[in-house]
Structure 1
Amino acid sequence: MNEKPLHISELFNQFHRDVYHFALYFTNNKQDAEDITQETFLKAMKNLHQLKDPQKVKTWILSIARFTAVDWIRKQKLRRLFTITASTVTHEEDMNSRRVIGEENWKDLQQALLKLKPHYRSVIIMRGLNELSVKETAEALQCSEGKVRVDFHRAIQELKKDDSLKERWESYE
């Protein structure tokens, strides 16, 4: 069998609509779908050498899109929880009101973080706030990637139990 090598530009031209539509249906947001599509093809480009069966390239790319979309949604939930926003304040209200609401959210988050074990707090800050990868977090904390995954999950579960953040979690789930 003499197959020609796959090029990412060809794959993009052939499958970008499929990936975009998947992401759009998954998120119901055009901007997020565009970002997920871009991220999917970046991951595909980096991992093209891992494709074992070129006949299954479409399912391979859609699989990458699925994992990328799931990760994207998780990040968005965390970003919304951790981001200091004043979304309840209209543009007509003064900046002092915005600052007070932002400070209140910040205090709630800080108090919840301080209740966590130091290691959990570090994992949440690195993964949730600084958006480091599992690998980067593991290297920084000098532990295994598996430990980072487990501890991140456990830390999130602890944060979900915190009364000051409970309402915000429920509104994002």
Structure 2
Amino acid sequence: MYQKNEKINQDFDSEQQLNELLDLYGQRIQRLIYTYVKDKYIAEDLTQEVFIKVFQNLHLFRKESSLYTWIYRIAVNRAKDYLRTAWVRRTTSLLKSMVKDNYISTENTYLKKAENKQLIDTILRLQIEYREVILLFYIEELTINEMSEILNIKETTIRTRLRRGREKLKKLLQREETF
């Protein structure tokens, strides 16, 4: 699907090509990164970092996959690197403990307003390995093969994570319906 949209000049030597990449993939990459970091502003910053890295390393792109897949893989790796930093782990746990009660009541109020928001929020609560495959498969409409290339995981692992992710999502949604 996305490979058809790759109308980028393959010379990659100017600001124009960078802008073309941003136009084609910017929003999708930012949404992807958001699913990892769950913060709009951090996702914006990391998206910029991803495209700077992409532009600086385009000469290394071997065309063994689509450009889209290659950029997605860089984005996934950057998001995971960010989440591994000690600062993120410390501040995340501190913030969760400080605003847990307030956040839950605010979240419940907002979730009543829109089913789509409820589904996305529920997906975002899944463990990262399930969340990423569900979002890439259903939201980004990537194939198992494309996800395998992006995440550098075997296709059988992708299928297993999709199945388990669907099961966990179903349980979470059923649990929410009872409240």
Global fold match (TM > 0.5): no
Bigger relative contact order, structure 1 or 2 (CA pairs below 8 A, ≥6 apart): 2
TM-score, normalised by the number of residues in structure 1: 0.42
TM-score, normalised by the number of residues in structure 2: 0.40
Over alpha carbons, which structure has the higher Rg?
1
